[in-house]
Every structure is written in structure tokens, then in C-alpha cells.
Amino acid sequence: MADKVQFLNPAGVSAPLGMYSHIARVPAGELIFLAGQVAVDSKGKLVGAGNFEAQFHQVFENLGLLLQSVGAGFKDVVKFTTYLLDAEYIEPLMHVRAELWPRVFGAGGYPPNTLIVVERLVREEFLLEIEAVARAPS
């Protein structure tokens, strides 16, 4: 297991407040940094205008395609940073992650995630943006 990502929640620290781990431990090696992804399709067209769940799923489709293009997958992700346009999207985020995470990551731990509420994203119609760091598969 030394070549795999380990997700840890050590004793003495409160349990995570959501579906994430406090620590991702990764053996030394190459890292992949994915730019923040927004809800656009392969032609750059907005997906899910005004619909948080649709935008979330498009963002994850984009992240998956990026990972796949370098021979990686979600199992290789060691950190997410999630940017939300408004705090009202925190609960919907928790809901869609609760549905998606077990399918994407299995029954194991989940990558650390930093959640930030911002005033605006690159275009006003975007409700969220997610960036990731992954380990390169060996």
C-alpha cells in the first residue's frame, strides 16, 4: 500500500465536518495540478444555467476527463479546493457529494477539501469552481 494515497483522520483532532479527510499521505513522486474547473462542456458552453447540481456534475466530468488524459483517476486525487459563489450552495454541495463520493472514491476515505465562498467567479453564471491536486500513477 506504500504506492497508494492514504487518507487519515488522527486521534485528538475533531472528526471532519463533511465528506473529506484531514490528511492525505502520498509517497514521494510526481504530482498533477488541475486548474479550477467550471461548468462548461467540451465546446466551452455553459451547462446547467442556474442549476447547482447540474453544474457540479459537469465540473466533475471535466475533472475526470483531465485526470484520464494523464492516465490518472479520482482515486489519485489528494486534495480539492472548492469555490462557491454563495454560502447558500453549501448544503446542496454536501448533498451532491454525499451521492457522488461513494461511487467515485468507494468506501475508503475522501480527499481533503478546502471550501471557500467567493464574491464572484470568472463568469457570473458559474456557481462553483473546483481545482484538484493528484498523484501521478506509478
Residue 94, pLDDT score: 96
Q: Which domain holds residue 41?
A: 31-135
Question: How confident is the model over 34-56, as pLDDT tens digits?
Answer: 999 999 999 999 999 999 999 99
- The answer as to whether 26 is a domain residue is no
3-state secondary structure of 65: helix
- The answer as to whether 90 is a domain residue is yes
Residue 86, pLDDT score: 97
Contacts of 12 (CB under 8 A, 6+ apart): none
Confidence of residue 2 (pLDDT cuts 50, 70, 90): low
- The answer as to whether 21 is a domain residue is no
- The answer as to whether 83 is a domain residue is yes
Residue 87 pLDDT greater than 70, yes or no: yes
CATH code where residue 40 lies: 3.30.1330.40
pTM above 0.75, yes or no: yes
- The answer as to whether 77 is a domain residue is yes
CA distances from 102 to 46, 73, 85, 90, 109 (A): 27, 14, 25, 19, 9
If one counts the domains in the chain, the total is 1
- The answer as to whether 10 is a domain residue is no
- The answer as to whether 22 is a domain residue is no
Distance in angstroms (rounded) separating the CA atoms of residues 68 and 91? 29
CA distances from 104 to 79, 91, 112, 121 (A): 14, 20, 15, 26
- The answer as to whether 67 is a domain residue is yes
